Amino acid sequence: MTSATSDTLTLGGDLAVHRLGFGAMRITGTGVWGPPADRDECLRVLRRAVELGVDFIDTADSYGPYISEELIREALYPYDGVVIATKAGLLRTAPDVWEPLGFPAYLRQECEMSLRRLGVDTIDLFQLHRIDAKFPLEDQIGELVALQQEGKIRHIGVSEVTVEQLAAVRAITPVASVQNMFNLTMRAAEPVLDVCEADGIAFIPWFPLAAGPLAAPDGPLQRIAAEHDASPSQLALAWLLKRSPVMVPIPGTSRVAHLEENVAAARIELTDAEFDTLSEAGAAQG
């Protein structure tokens, strides 16, 4: 059971990672706030992910806040061969509360603090968590470019952008990744994915496992999953991996058993007919 069977993507032109990563939002408390209920299990999850071949871990300063980055360092430092991506640009004031904050000095502060929490001199992939309409885009992205020029960021990514916003960002700097919500039934970001695929930009779908009614006992997801001796969530991940060669799903969990199930999805090979059936069913639900 290893993600090494999934193919790879070269992030930013020089970082090869397996296309099934790990999203580290869920190794925090309820409402993505405070420490997790079972800290030791979360540390085991991180270490087991790497044992299984996962070499791309996505986190953010706002997860906890700070808790996720701290646990990643405790579990995995010095990260031998593992790419750690983080983000800034969302202010946390309470559980389940997320407020965009793109003030350039704040973005710089959070980058500096992430460097300290992760224990690195350079962050492999630093993503603007949200574009903040209160500040000029060129100031927000410009601050990340300045940090990159200082050697503190290797590659720049963005999250929850439209095609137009992505083009505006790329007019300022190369973009290594885009992280938008995308799954079998929620595919509003397909135009953005198409741009990413055409130009070799990694597309990181968050909320990758949502399947809704498709996972019902008599639904197409369940039927095809049974044929593969798999779970509906595994099939949802397999669909994402087949959807595009630039897709890098990052399912997250706080339990080792669930992690192992997710990672095993990289070994599922859908036929073209199965993929089409799921695509049509997902579009009908979306």
Q: So what's the pLDDT on residue 284? A: 87
Is residue 79 annotated as a catalytic residue, yes or no? no
Catalytic residue among 63, 66, 77, 79: 63
Q: In whole angstroms, give the CA distance from residue 126 to residue 108.
A: 11
70: nearest Cα among 132, 12, 119, 141: 119
Residue 73: CATH number of its domain: 3.20.20.100
What's the pTM?
0.96
Residue 232 counted as domain residue? no
Q: What tens digit of pLDDT does each residue of 91-130 get?
A: 999 999 999 999 999 999 999 999 999 999 999 999 999 9
Q: So what's the pLDDT on residue 211? A: 67
Residue 225 counted as domain residue? no
* Encoded amino acid at 248, one letter: V
Q: So what's the pLDDT on residue 5? A: 44
Quick one: how far is CA 183 from the chain centroid? 12
Q: Residue 10 has which token pair?
A: 């070269």
Residue 168 counted as domain residue? yes
Q: So what's the pLDDT on residue 3? A: 44
With a CB cutoff of 8 Å and minimum separation 6, the contacts of 198 are none
Q: What tens digit of pLDDT does each residue of 230-243 get?
A: 999 999 999 999 99
Q: So what's the pLDDT on residue 217? A: 82
Domain count, the chain: 1
Residue 40 counted as domain residue? yes
Point out the residues of the chain with pLDDT beneath 70: 1-6, 211
Residue range of the domain that includes 203:
7-209+243-253
Q: So what's the pLDDT on residue 156? A: 99
Residue 273 counted as domain residue? no
